[in-house]
């Protein structure tokens, strides 16, 4: 049963990755591209979490926390920079 759930999650993550790559390639603005890259970072983090659950270890937990924090800070920084450029 666990293997079926892992396959379903893997397929869904793969489809989400393809959608993010398309958005990065076609994104009409820099904000769309940054958001898609942030979502890709979260997809990688979720894949690592799934691997940790499946193999019952917590080796990558620090990387997952750091990646999520870095993605959030990066997205906020870029959005503030772009909003400052539009207001000026």
Using alpha carbons, select from 30, 11, 20 the residue that is nearest to residue 81. 30
The predicted structure's pLDDT at residue 30: 84
pLDDT band at 88 (very low <50, low <70, confident <90, very high): low
The pLDDT of residue 84 = 80
Cβ-contact 4, 41 below 8 angstroms: no
Domain range annotation of the chain: 2-87
Helix H or strand E segment including 4? helix 2-26
Neighbours of 36 (CB within 10 A): 19
Residue 29, sorted as left (phi over 0), alpha (psi -120 to 50) or beta, turns out to be beta
User: What's the pTM value of the predicted model, to 2 decimals?
Assistant: 0.87
Reported as a single tens digit per residue, the pLDDT across 12-69 is 999 999 999 999 999 898 888 988 999 999 999 999 999 999 999 999 999 999 999 9
């Amino acid at each position: 049963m666990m293997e079926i759930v892992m396959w379903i999650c893997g397929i869904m993550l793969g489809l989400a990755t393809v959608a993010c790559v398309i958005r990065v390639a076609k994104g009409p603005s820099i904000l769309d591209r940054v958001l898609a890259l942030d979502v890709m970072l979260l997809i990688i983090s979720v894949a690592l979490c799934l691997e940790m659950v499946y193999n019952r270890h917590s080796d990558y937990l620090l990387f997952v926390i750091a990646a999520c924090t870095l993605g959030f800070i990066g997205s906020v920084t870029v959005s503030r920079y772009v909003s400052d450029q539009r207001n000026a």
